[in-house]
């Protein structure tokens, strides 16, 4: 690999600072007592504590998955603190009461916590370590009947809704990390769009891990009733620590008849340094249920951070004519490892799914696409189109594609396309000979490669994603 | 065309270059003045394409001796993109495919880089579209080429037209065209040659690297050089190309040997 390319992929992380803020941190370790402590701190109803304990007991019997194409030392779950909250945590009457140190943190990260801010028009729920610190535009959304708040708040204010849907898409014992999350989740966002309402603005959650040795286990639940629609954005960052931090989230989406949920993620957790030291373990379960007819769930993700990513945002297409979509860009650099993809489970008639996955590997990283398309016997007329493209930058990285296709209905149509390409010295020389330097050339090639996915992102996110990929790859070209 | 008072654009003196440790250029000398058209001919493996790539700064080649002065400054000190911005253009023998990048985007980026270098205004996508369509007429190119990925799925002839289109956009001071005639049918050859002729003026210069005389029927060179074993062994006027076409390259070699014996 040329020095130009080498320098290009060695850009430092921009969000690695730590906010000096007093936090209420639970002692390290995991037991039923830890769970009772969390539940007690949040003053939760009995049924939720039972759900947590049930999940914990199942988790104890489960084994950590070893099938992903990633390598890491065994996690010591007793060395993690399962609760951290900035002090003091009062109920806030307005944004003016938010700790100014926190406001500064999110300002630095470019997250609009001020409703008068430039990026107005996006409602944000801000999660700092284990708790939600602020939700903007709540009142305005409430006017049209939309509930948008932290999940802790929802447990108290809308217990029936939470109880009805929590764990209905991802059961507490679904998998190792989902079980762990169900046992110890601390906060997250809750969003409910009532029948017939088109959400008037994009909703967004911003996750920030601040405290060292803290795990973040957030829980997001989005429900769109009949004919409702919403576009939801999620962003994440963390400071630089030499130790690995665990992030094991669960996101559940439910779409009833004719509902439409679009979920977009730009994930930029700290990825570790250039030698692979530190970084976030991002072990996340995201799943959407197209419960009603003609419903639609669309996942768009731009994954650039984390030391290890293990994540398969999926769609269960139960309603007839429902549609599932997955658009993904996963970029890995240095010693990052990603095993990410999707599952499209076709149960209803004439269900359709689209998968577009773009993997970019640089440095010594390893990037795998893993995807399942299952057509059940009931899914007459189901269709799937999958496209998985990999791009290699340099010659020390790896890219893999693991497609699983299970078709149990003869009327189904399934298409799969895959390609691998490489940014070569000759391409960069061609650009250079037209006066264009390596940074700009790589940026143009990458953006061209990712354009099918970027087109799916909401405008502000698309701009951010383009810049982020640039930052991740651009640098001091010698 | 040779002009009386034209200035020297390019002076190559005693240039040696290696690739993977093997010496390909062994004492290359060439002087090009503005307004001139030079043709470099020679058999396969004589170092013609290497010479073109070394001038452009291809990273696979290492200069092991000699100097290259372009408009009075040392060209070898500059990175490839700086050489391009200084006005050195290489028409690639095998233009590179760049999947996913629209040709229009690529052309506009290259053009705006050149405009910035000249201290002139950059064009937005709409303005550029009008501008590039006009230039494409010169090469009888279909505007569809703007929407396709750079060189991807282009035929050999289409790639070569795209190269000359870039030359038309960038207006380089020195254009080195490496086997621009290869892969062209007779109509395409005429169109491309016509385009190059229209771009030639008294302030720029063109170096044609070619195997065959047929391109020189359309673009008349002021000088014809014959390369062998990494350097120029014979220089003449346009009639030299015809002589080569009739007698082959072996004749130059045997003449050289004969001269060598005489000088002993």
For residue range B128-147, list pLDDT tens digits in order: 999 999 999 999 999 999 99
What pLDDT digit, counting tens, does each position of A138-184 carry? Answer: 788 889 999 988 888 899 999 999 999 999 999 999 999 999 999 99
Q: In 3-state terms, what secondary structure has residue B141? A: coil
Q: Which residue has the tokens 């996913």?
A: B100
What pLDDT digit, counting tens, does each position of A212-260 carry? Answer: 666 778 899 999 999 999 998 887 665 666 667 788 999 999 999 999 9
pLDDT at residue A158, rounded to an integer? 95
Closest-approach residue (CA) in chain A for B111: A434
Task: Residue A448: list chain B partners with CB under 8 A.
Answer: 98-102, 105, 149
Task: For chain A, positions 362-421, list CB contacts with chain B under 8 A.
Answer: 421
Please give, rounded to a whole number of angstroms, the shortest distance from the CA of B87 to a CA of chain A: 9
pLDDT at residue A291, rounded to an integer? 97
Helix (H) or strand (E) holding A449: helix A438-454
Q: Does B56 touch chain A (CB under 8 A)?
A: yes
Span B28-43, mean pLDDT? 96
Q: Does B113 touch chain A (CB under 8 A)?
A: yes
Task: Report which DSSP code applies to A197.
Answer: P
Please give, rounded to a whole number of angstroms, the shortest distance from the CA of A433 to a CA of chain B: 5
Q: Does B241 touch chain A (CB under 8 A)?
A: no
What pLDDT digit, counting tens, does each position of A437-473 carry? Answer: 988 898 888 888 888 888 887 776 677 777 777 666 6
Mutate to test the interface with A, among B99, B132, B162 (most CBs of A within 10 A): B99
- Residue A182 burial (10 A CB sphere; 0-12, 13-18, 19+): buried
Gyration radius (Cα) of chain A, Å: 22
Under a CB-based contact definition with an 8 Å cutoff, are residues A220 and A189 in contact?
yes
Nearest by CB to B59, which of A2, A421, A435?
A2
What pLDDT digit, counting tens, does each position of A303-325 carry? Answer: 888 888 999 999 999 999 999 99
A440–B89: do the CB atoms touch at under 8 Å? no
- Residue A75 burial (10 A CB sphere; 0-12, 13-18, 19+): middle
pLDDT at residue A197, rounded to an integer? 95
Q: Does B235 touch chain A (CB under 8 A)?
A: no
What pLDDT digit, counting tens, does each position of A45-84 carry? Answer: 999 999 999 999 999 999 988 888 888 888 888 888 888 7
A433–B56: do the CB atoms touch at under 8 Å? yes
pLDDT band for A1, please (50, 70, 90 cuts). Answer: very low
* Among A252, A238, A401, CA closest to A313: A252
Nearest by CB to A436, which of B100, B102, B109?
B109
DSSP string, A329-380: EEEE-TT-EEEEEEEEEE-STT-EEEEEEEEEE-TT-EEEEEEEEEE-TT-T
CA B241 to chain centre: 18
Closest-approach residue (CA) in chain B for A423: B98
- Identify which has the larger pLDDT, A119 or A478: A119
pLDDT at A399 over 60: yes
pLDDT at residue B80, rounded to an integer? 96
Measured from the Cβ of residue A471, the count of other Cβ atoms closer than 10 Å reads 16
Residues of chain A with pLDDT > 90, as a percent, come to: 44
- Identify which has the larger pLDDT, A122 or A329: A329
pLDDT at residue A133, rounded to an integer? 59
Please give the Cα distance from B50 to A285 (Å, whole number): 55
Phi then psi for A251, rounded to 5 degrees?
Answer: -120, 125
pLDDT at residue A478, rounded to an integer? 25
Task: Residue A356: list chain B partners with CB under 8 A.
Answer: none
Q: Does A1 touch chain B (CB under 8 A)?
A: no
Q: Which residue has the tokens 């005489």?
A: B262
pLDDT band for B198, please (50, 70, 90 cuts). Answer: very high
- Within A17-176, strands assigned E span 23-25, 84-86, 122-128, 131-135, 147-150
pLDDT at residue A149, rounded to an integer? 87
Please give the Cα distance from A145 to B264 (Å, whole number): 103
Measured from the Cβ of residue A88, the count of other Cβ atoms closer than 10 Å reads 8
Range from A196-205, A363-372, B166-175, B219-228 carrying the lowest mean pLDDT = A196-205
B110–A436: do the CB atoms touch at under 8 Å? yes
B80–A451: do the CB atoms touch at under 8 Å? no
pLDDT at residue A116, rounded to an integer? 42
Please give, rounded to a whole number of angstroms, the shortest distance from the CA of A423 to a CA of chain B: 9
What pLDDT digit, counting tens, does each position of A124-138 carry? Answer: 677 666 566 566 777
pLDDT at B249 over 90: no
Assembly ipTM: 0.95
Q: Does B166 touch chain A (CB under 8 A)?
A: yes
pLDDT at residue B252, rounded to an integer? 79
Q: Which residue has the tokens 């990494």?
A: B230
Closest-approach residue (CA) in chain A for B113: A435
Tokens of B184: 């062209």
Phi then psi for A197, rounded to 5 degrees?
Answer: -95, 130
Cα distances from B225 to residues A35, B5, B44, in angstroms, run: 85, 22, 15
Count of H-run helices and E-run strands, chain A: 11, 23
Measured from the Cβ of residue B250, the count of other Cβ atoms closer than 10 Å reads 9
Please give the Cα distance from B4 to A462 (Å, whole number): 57
Please give the Cα distance from A315 to A298 (Å, whole number): 8
Mean pLDDT across chain A: 83
Under a CB-based contact definition with an 8 Å cutoff, are residues A24 and A85 in contact?
yes
Span A351-378, mean pLDDT? 93
């Amino acid at each position: 690999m040329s020095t130009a390319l080498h320098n290009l992929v060695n850009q430092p992380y921009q969000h690695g600072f730590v906010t000096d803020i007093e936090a209420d941190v639970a002692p390290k370790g995991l037991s039923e007592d830890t769970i009772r402590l969390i539940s007690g701190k949040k003053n939760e109803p009995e049924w939720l504590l039972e759900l947590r304990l049930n999940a914990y007991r199942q988790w104890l019997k489960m084994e950590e998955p070893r099938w992903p194409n990633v390598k890491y030392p065994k996690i010591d779950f007793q060395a993690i603190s399962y609760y951290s909250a900035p002090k003091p945590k009062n109920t806030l009457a307005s944004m003016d009461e938010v700790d100014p140190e926190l406001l500064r943190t999110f300002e630095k990260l470019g997250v609009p916590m001020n409703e008068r801010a430039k990026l107005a028009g996006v409602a944000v729920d801000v999660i700092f370590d284990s708790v939600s610190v602020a939700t903007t535009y709540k009142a305005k959304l409430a006017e049209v009947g939309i509930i948008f708040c932290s999940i802790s708040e929802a447990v108290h204010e809308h217990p029936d809704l939470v109880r009805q849907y929590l764990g209905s898409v991802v059961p507490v014992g679904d998998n190792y990390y989902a079980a762990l999350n169900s046992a110890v989740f601390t906060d997250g966002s809750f969003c409910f769009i009532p029948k017939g309402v088109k959400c008037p603005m994009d909703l967004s959650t911003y996750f920030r891990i601040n405290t060292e040795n803290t795990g973040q286990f957030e829980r997001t639940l989005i429900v769109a009733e009949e004919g409702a629609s919403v576009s939801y954005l999620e962003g994440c960052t963390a400071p630089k620590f030499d130790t690995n931090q665990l992030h094991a989230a669960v996101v559940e989406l439910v779409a009833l008849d004719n509902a439409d949920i679009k979920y977009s993620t730009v994930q930029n957790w700290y990825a570790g340094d250039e030698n692979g030291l530190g970084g976030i373990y991002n072990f996340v379960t995201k799943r959407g249920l197209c419960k009603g007819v003609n419903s639609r769930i669309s996942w768009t993700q731009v994954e650039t951070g984390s030391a290890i990513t293990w994540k398969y945002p999926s769609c269960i297409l139960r309603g007839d004519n429902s549609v599932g979509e997955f658009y993904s860009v996963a970029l890995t650099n240095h010693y990052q490892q990603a095993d990410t993809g999707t599952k499209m489970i076709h149960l209803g008639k004439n269900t359709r799914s689209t998968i577009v996955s773009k993997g970019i590997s640089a440095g010594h990283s390893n990037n795998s696409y893993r995807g399942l398309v299952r057509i059940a016997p009931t899914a007459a007329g189901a269709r799937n189109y999958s496209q998985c493209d990999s791009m290699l930058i340099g010659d020390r990285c790896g890219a893999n594609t693991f497609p699983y296709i299970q078709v149990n209905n003869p009327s189904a149509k399934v298409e799969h396309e895959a390609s691998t390409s490489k940014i070569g010295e000759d391409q960069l020389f061609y650009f250079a000979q037209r006066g264009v330097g390596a940074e700009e050339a790589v940026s143009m090639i990458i953006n061209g490669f990712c354009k099918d996915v970027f087109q799916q992102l909401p405008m502000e996110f698309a701009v951010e994603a383009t810049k982020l990929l640039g930052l991740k790859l651009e640098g001091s070209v010698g | 065309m040779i002009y009386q008072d034209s200035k020297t654009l390019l002076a190559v003196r005693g240039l040696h270059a290696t690739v993977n440790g093997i010496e390909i250029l062994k004492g290359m000398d060439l002087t090009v003045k503005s307004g001139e058209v030079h043709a470099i001919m020679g058999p396969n493996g004589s170092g013609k394409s290497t010479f073109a790539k070394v001038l452009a700064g291809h990273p696979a080649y290492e200069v092991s001796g000699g100097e290259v002065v372009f408009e009075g400054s040392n060209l070898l000190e500059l990175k490839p993109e700086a050489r391009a911005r200084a006005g050195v253009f290489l028409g690639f023998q095998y233009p590179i495919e760049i999947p996913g990048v629209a040709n229009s985007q690529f052309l506009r980026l290259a053009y705006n880089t050149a405009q910035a270098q000249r201290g002139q205004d950059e064009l937005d996508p709409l303005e550029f579209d009008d501008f590039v369509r006009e230039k494409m007429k010169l090469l009888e190119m279909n505007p569809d080429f703007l929407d396709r990925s750079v060189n991807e799925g282009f035929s050999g002839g289409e790639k070569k037209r795209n190269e000359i289109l870039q030359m038309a956009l960038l207006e380089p001071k020195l254009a080195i065209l490496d086997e621009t005639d290869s892969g062209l049918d007779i109509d395409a050859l005429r169109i491309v040659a016509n385009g190059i002729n229209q771009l030639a003026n008294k302030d720029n210069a063109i170096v044609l690297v070619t195997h065959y005389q047929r391109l020189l029927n359309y673009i008349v060179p002021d000088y014809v050089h014959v390369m062998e074993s990494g350097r120029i062994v014979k220089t003449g006027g346009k009639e030299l190309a015809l002589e080569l076409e009739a007698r082959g390259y072996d004749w130059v070699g045997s003449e050289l040997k004969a001269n060598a014996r005489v000088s002993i």
